[in-house]
């Protein structure tokens, strides 16, 4: 009780032990999956680009923990974490990256085209910005249908000077659309520092310009993200309009696997952010408050290791799509 109260005091969230451990588990699932994907990429097993989400796990997990299955997510080129957090099975994510027919996009999309509408993952995309408009459009349809569903657009700091950001947020504000705009501000767009791309690096503050709610949180604190998302989701479902949620975070691996990582940031900066690791932070907090013990964390760690190993086996053993079906799924039947 004491431990839960401590956590609640800090975040305003009432989360019991099981839900706290579930947040840890989800973040670890993303981390271990990404680490495996990085190794597989280095071995040449993954065709195409592979942008990992290592360091940013608290954002996807904190936001998606407050969503329902029928709420929708429009993701980015860095979308494996969003897919897993929204509920795409690890086997299907891994198999898609391997280009196999059992992947969530039947092996036709790869890393930047993960789709699983069954669980509300409406797609990752290689184009920076337009998913903001897609999220806005989904919010508009939910508003018209009056179904109290919520739409989420994740994007990086690299998208906020794109015209789509302005158009999407402005429309959502004037029509009170049920949308969460989640900016994962990891300080760089590829190798360009955010401060070199804008005079105003305070993303959340831009919300005022659109007349909508804007909140900035520590994006490496999953409980802070979840608390902010809870409030934004409540606002959206109540018909009280959209929220711009800026999560300040950092990616600790290169922009994409296979890219070098020097020149635009220092090893000391990367090390500093590694010390602010979101997974280690939650673990330390739950141990410190007596909410969970080492044995319980060891059990979660073992479970995740097994899940990722199973996903890798599944991907490796799965067939490639039949070349004879190359033109299938290109046009909708109706
Ligand atoms: C419209 C468009 N312009 C440029 C690119 C090339 N590009 C790919 S990723 C990227 C940086 C994106 O940075 P950010 O949005 O901050 O996301 P992060 O990679 O930091 O997660 C750019 C410019 C693109 N994919 N789409």
Residues in the chain: 334
Q: Alpha-carbon distance 43 to 52, whole Å?
A: 16
CA 36 to centroid of ligand 1, rounded, Å: 23
Q: Is 189 in the pocket of ligand 1 (CB under 6 A)?
A: yes
Q: Which atom from ligand 1 is nearest to the alpha carbon of 130?
A: 1
Q: Alpha-carbon distance 267 to 245, whole Å?
A: 28
| Helix (H/G/I), strand (E/B), else coil: 180 | strand
Share above pLDDT 70 across residues of the chain, in percent, rounded to a whole number: 96
Name the phi and psi angles at 226, rounded to 5.
-65, -40
According to DSSP, residue 253 is labeled S
Q: Which atom from ligand 1 is nearest to the alpha carbon of 190?
A: 11
Q: Is 321 in the pocket of ligand 1 (CB under 6 A)?
A: no
Predicted confidence (pLDDT) per residue in 251-299, tens digit: 999 999 999 998 999 999 999 999 999 999 999 999 999 999 999 999 9
Identify the helix (H) or strand (E) that includes residue 166: helix 163-174
Q: Alpha-carbon distance 321 to 333, whole Å?
A: 20
Please state the rounded mean pLDDT for residues 50-72.
98
Name the phi and psi angles at 49, rounded to 5.
-85, 160
Domain 2-315: CATH class, spelled out? alpha beta
Q: What Å distances lie between residue 319 and 81, 98, 144, 323, CA to CA?
A: 24, 10, 42, 11
Q: Is 77 in the pocket of ligand 1 (CB under 6 A)?
A: yes
Domain boundaries, the chain: 2-315
**CB neighbourhood size of 298 (10 A):** 10
Q: Alpha-carbon distance 114 to 124, whole Å?
A: 5
What's the confidence (pLDDT) of residue 305?
98
According to DSSP, residue 116 is labeled B
Predicted confidence (pLDDT) per residue in 96-149, tens digit: 999 999 999 999 999 999 999 999 999 999 999 999 999 999 999 999 999 999
Q: Alpha-carbon distance 4 to 256, whole Å?
A: 38
Predicted confidence (pLDDT) per residue in 233-252, tens digit: 999 999 999 999 999 999 99
CA 49 to centroid of ligand 1, rounded, Å: 13
């Amino acid at each position: 009780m004491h431990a839960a109260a401590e956590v609640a005091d800090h975040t305003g969230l009432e989360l019991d032990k099981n839900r706290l451990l579930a947040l840890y588990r989800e973040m670890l699932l993303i981390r271990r999956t990404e680490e495996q994907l990085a190794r597989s990429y280095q071995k040449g097993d993954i065709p195409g680009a592979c942008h990992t989400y290592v360091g940013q796990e608290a954002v996807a997990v904190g936001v998606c923990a407050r969503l329902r299955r029928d709420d929708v997510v429009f993701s980015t080129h860095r979308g494996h974490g969003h897919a897993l957090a929204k509920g795409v099975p690890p086997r299907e994510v891994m198999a898609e990256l391997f280009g196999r027919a059992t992947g969530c996009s039947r092996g036709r999309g790869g890393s930047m085209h993960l789709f699983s509408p069954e669980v509300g993952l409406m797609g990752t995309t290689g184009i920076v910005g337009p998913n903001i408009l897609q999220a806005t459009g989904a919010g508009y349809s939910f508003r018209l249908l009056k179904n109290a569903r919520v739409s989420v657009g994740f994007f990086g700091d690299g998208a906020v000077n794109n015209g789509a950001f302005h158009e999407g947020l402005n429309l959502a504000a004037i029509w009170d659309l049920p949308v969460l705009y989640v900016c994962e501000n990891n300080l760089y767009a590829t190798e360009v520092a955010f401060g070199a791309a804008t005079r105003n690096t305070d993303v959340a503050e831009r919300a005022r310009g659109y007349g909508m709610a804007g909140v900035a949180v520590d994006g490496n604190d999953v409980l802070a993200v979840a608390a902010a998302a809870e409030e934004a989701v409540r606002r959206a479902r109540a018909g009280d309009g959209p929220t711009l949620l800026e999560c300040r975070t950092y990616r600790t691996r290169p922009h994409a696997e296979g890219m070098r990582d020097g020149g635009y940031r220092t090893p000391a900066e990367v090390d500093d952010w590694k010390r602010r690791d979101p997974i280690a932070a939650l673990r330390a907090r739950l141990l410190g408050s007596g909410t969970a013990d080492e044995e319980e964390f060891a059990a979660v760690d073992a479970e995740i290791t097994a899940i990722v190993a199973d996903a890798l086996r599944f991907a490796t053993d799965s067939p490639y799509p039949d070349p004879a079906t190359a033109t299938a799924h290109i046009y909708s039947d109706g």
